[in-house]
Structure 1
Amino acid sequence: MDAIRIHMNAAVSDATDNILNFRNQEIPLRQLSITFYLKYYDCLTIGKAVARARATHSHKLDSAEFIILPEKKLQYCTIDDRRRNGKQLMTFFDACTDAFAGLTRLHLRNLKLAETDIPNIIATCKRLEYLRLSMCQTEDSVLQLQVEHPRLVELDISSAGLELVELPTEPQTIWVQPECPKLLSPVLQNLQVLNLDELPEGRDIAWTCFFLEAAPSLKEMCITVWDHWHYNLTKLTIYGFQPNENFMGYIRHVMEAAVNLEDISLYDRKVLECCEVLDPKIEVAPSRYPQTIEEQELLRKQIIEGLVMASPHIIHFRS
């Protein structure tokens, strides 16, 4: 950390302490936003000042924001530096939990944290509405957030190097804004088959089109939209069944959604009298409806492949 930034950080620390502790108490404190470097004693001064102000004026403080920057510039940080930044942050956090508990917005950058650190921060920051994690990693590449939070409505994670983020089931809809297609292209350039399951019914699904830009090799894309499981549906009948991806994919989706399904009856095309007088020049593809027991058994296995608790015995080929 160069001398200029050390001086600036100390100045921010002193100014925060002076403003919060020695200002005219008749002037209400509505909003607070502080940007500072992760230097322990400066952080401690800021944290203690905010905690005292919150204890005195919590009913007047509408919003409070910490933007915490690492001491080293991003391009000079190593994995050990990020891990050291993470430990410094948690030391600051443990010493000033009262200050963090009053935050409504928190920005963290260039840290490597233990698996439980982020859930602990979220659980402590009871008023938190917005959390941004930029270049923040965890010791495990999977981030599990199983904390129910009454106010957190926006979680911004960028360049985190995480393989998976597991979010809890809340009554509210969780909206995920994907990365810019240009940034994801190197990762998804070989993706050919994509399945998007359980998209909320009635919500905008246009965001899924970003895969068309980010994955130039994409050949198949399947979207499943529903809002709840169907417990009442017990029978499905299809006339005109053909053993293609359209019909078989549809049946699989119904079997996944209708957990109490007892019977699936599949019929061949209906032959109508009007079909006999069609212009002979009009080509009609011959039916591929399975006729033999072997063909029917093979289709049953293909339909239920990979489905949990699905039984092939409920699938009937009717004549």
Structure 2
Amino acid sequence: MAEECGDDRISTLPNDILLNILDRLHVSDAAKTSILSRRWSQLSAKLPRLIINPLPEGVLSLFGRDESRANISDGDLARLNAATFKATKSVLARRDPGQDTIRLLSTMFYLIGDVPISIGHVVGEAMAVHQIEKAEFTILTVKGRDHCTLNDVVNYGKQFVPFFNECRNAFTRLTRLYLENLRFAESDFVSNIFVTCKLLKYLGLFNCDTDNWITLQIEHAQLRELSLVNCRFDKVELKWLPKLTRTTYKFWMSFEDLPLSFGQVPLLEFLHLTTIHFIYHKMVRLSTLLSEICVQDLRLAFKCEKIWVQPEPLTERLAAAFRGLRIVNLVLIPEGHDLTWTMFILEAAPCLEEFYMSVIDHLCEMEYHPVRRRQHLYSAEQKGVEWESPRSDFQHRRLTKLIIFCFGNYIVSHLRRVMKVAVNLMDVYLYDRVACRYCKHINPLNPGRLPRNKKKLNAMRNLLTQDIQSPARIHFLTPSPEMDADHAERSPESFR
């Protein structure tokens, strides 16, 4: 067939289809097709997305994990960096300036040696002559967080500063930036990142801070998503972010009553807060924290430790703070404690449609030894909180889905309580304990396994619905790769 047509079948395809095929390959594999013919060489120079990573995605994910990175030598990382620079320079040099817009230029590399500056210069030069819609830097450190010492993060910060200063022409045009494990001597350096990177739509800071605890005040005209994880700031003030829609703030160290405050963030829809309640932390009143915003999707995670949210009776202030809530997800609630306190959210959020909860003790992450708990300032109080609703006749009319992960017998009474008040509840999804590869050799405190045979499942269903007039369908499920995408995205394992 190829002899009769004078060409192979693939080469007879239109350019847009061939580009679509090449776009799905790792950039190094796509570049290799340039040796096939002049046409293929021209196609490889027109790729709309240039995602340049040291290794193909499947292998790269292994190297990116903290425990795996510890097994890579500095020499291997230097070689990976050199390969990234070579690939970046090669694919950009092959393109004609002013032609074929680059929809995405994404580069991942390690903060080691002089290669980051070389990559920054190449990308900066390309930004000056090519039309680039999205430009991304993912900058990793030699050691992951779990293996970083204080000296490591200080040294990484010292390495990043000259790189940032010398490659400002690249940073000023970035739309996405991820940084990790950096401590800066200058207290205003983090603020300088926001000032310099004016086009950022996403900023992720992981284990980044300054020598002195500061109140980080953020103003940015373009930022749409902000993620702060394990960052040591006294307080974070989101003062003016007119396009911000998503914020994640995990593990604050602040002594303040409220570690986060909101100014002008009119489009904020999603807020994710995670922390461990230490003895110096105060309980957080959501009526105060959320009083200036109108989030629709709220996620609160407790890392199997003390509940840090203060249950509140319904007031005008609380009702205003919860007026826009459509989805609430309470993640990693410690086991064995009364869940009645969660009802205050239902009572204050009349528009709530989906309610997710996961109740589990991850023994692989928890500290049980009393001496070490005192040394690390874990809360010595009972992990649960008490609350009694003053509204005995309360009904909720908008909640349609209730999803509970790690369901056990001790949750039955609370589930019945929710089913009574949620008069239009349509579906209740009860997932068995989520498997944890780190906990699997440790006996769980409260196994709480769902029954396995049909007879026992029917008995459980009858127990849940006894004397309750509810239209809700009860689904008993086991977590799996095939689980509902929305459920998987909100399962406790997605927060590990």
By the TM > 0.5 criterion, same fold? yes
Instruction: With the length of structure 1 as denominator, give the TM-score of the two structures.
Output: 0.60
Question: Which of 172, 187, 200 is 1:101 aligned to?
Answer: 172
Q: Secondary structure at the match of 1:39?
A: coil
Q: Structure 1 residues 71 and 190 mapped into 2: Cα distance closer, same or farther (>3 Å)?
A: closer
Task: Give deviations 1:155-214, integer Å, cap 9, x for gaps.
Answer: 10011133311221454335673334xxx3443798567463263478347738768x86
Task: Give deviations 1:47-106, integer Å, cap 9, x for gaps.
Answer: 11111111101xx21100000011234333211211111121111010010000110000
Aligned to 2:472: none
Aligned to 1:179: 273
Task: Give deviations 1:232-284, integer Å, cap 9, x for gaps.
Answer: xxxxxxxxxxxxxxxxxxxxxxxxxxxxxxxxxxxxxxxxxxxxxxxxxxxxx
* Aligned mates of 1:28, 1:218 — CA distance in 2: 48
Q: How does 1:49-198 map to 2 (within 5 A)?
A: 49-57=122-130, 60-113=131-184, 114-146=186-218, 148-170=219-241, 171-173=264-266, 174=268, 177-180=271-274, 184-187=275-278, 194=285, 196-197=287-288
Percent identity, aligned pairs only, is 30
Instruction: With the length of structure 2 as denominator, give the TM-score of the two structures.
Output: 0.40
* Aligned mates of 1:13, 1:129 — CA distance in 2: 24
Aligned to 1:42: 115
* Aligned mates of 2:216, 2:269 — CA distance in 1: 17
Q: Secondary structure at the match of 1:145?
A: strand
* Aligned mates of 1:179, 1:202 — CA distance in 2: 15
* Most deviating of 164-173 and 2-11: 164-173
* Aligned mates of 2:118, 2:147 — CA distance in 1: 27
* Most deviating of 72-81 and 100-109: 72-81
RMSD over equivalenced CA pairs, Å: 3.1
* Most deviating of 14-23 and 77-86: 14-23
Judge conservation of contact 1:189–1:217 (CA < 8 Å) in 2.
no
Task: Give deviations 1:267-304, integer Å, cap 9, x for gaps.
Answer: xxxxxxxxxxxxxxxxxxxxxxxxxxxxxxxxxxxxxx
Q: Secondary structure at the match of 1:89?
A: helix
Aligned to 1:5: 77
Query: Are positions 1:221 and 2:312 aligned together?
Result: yes
Task: Give deviations 1:128-161, integer Å, cap 9, x for gaps.
Answer: 1100001112222234224x32101211001113
Structure of higher CA gyration radius: 1
Q: Secondary structure at the match of 2:102?
A: coil
Judge conservation of contact 2:202–2:223 (CA < 8 Å) in 1.
yes
Q: Structure 1 residues 208 and 10 mapped into 2: Cα distance closer, same or farther (>3 Å)?
A: closer
Aligned to 1:230: none
* Aligned mates of 2:95, 2:299 — CA distance in 1: 51
Q: Secondary structure at the match of 2:239?
A: coil
* Aligned mates of 1:53, 1:9 — CA distance in 2: 19
Alignment-mate amino acid for residue 107 of structure 1: Y
* Aligned mates of 1:76, 1:152 — CA distance in 2: 31
Aligned to 1:259: none
* Structure with bigger RCO (C-alpha 8 Å, 6+ apart): 1
